[in-house]
Amino acid sequence: MEEMTDNPPGLTRDLVRALAREAGFADAGLVALPYAEEARDAARLRGWLNAGRSGTMRYLARAADDGQPLRGRANLPFPWTRSALICFASYHSAAPLSTAAHSQKSGWIARYAWSSRTDQSGQRRPSDYHKVLLRRLRQLESSLHARLGEFESRAFVDTGPVMERALATAAGLGWTGKNTCLIHPELGSFGFLAVLLTSLEARPEDEITPKTGRCGRCTRCIDACPTGALVAPHQMDATRCIAYLTIEHKGPIAPELAARMGRQLFGCDICQEVCPWNAPHRAPEASDAELEPRPELVNPGLDWLASLDEQAFEQLFNGSPVRRAGFLGLRRNLAIAMGNSGLDGFAPRLKAWADAADEGLRSAALWALDKLRSSCKSTIL
Q: Helix or strand or coil: residue 329?
A: helix
**Over the Cα atoms of the chain, what is R_g?**
22
**79, 277 contact by CB (below 8 A):** no
Per-residue CA distances from 214 to 174, 175, 277 (Å): 9, 8, 9
The arrangement of strands across the sheet holding 124-126 comes to 124-126, 115-118, 292-293
Please count the helices (runs of H) and the strands (runs of E) in the chain.
Answer: 13, 13
**140, 87 contact by CB (below 8 A):** yes
Among all residues, which ones are annotated catalytic?
Answer: 158
Per-residue CA distances from 166 to 12, 37, 53, 271, 332 (Å): 19, 9, 18, 19, 33
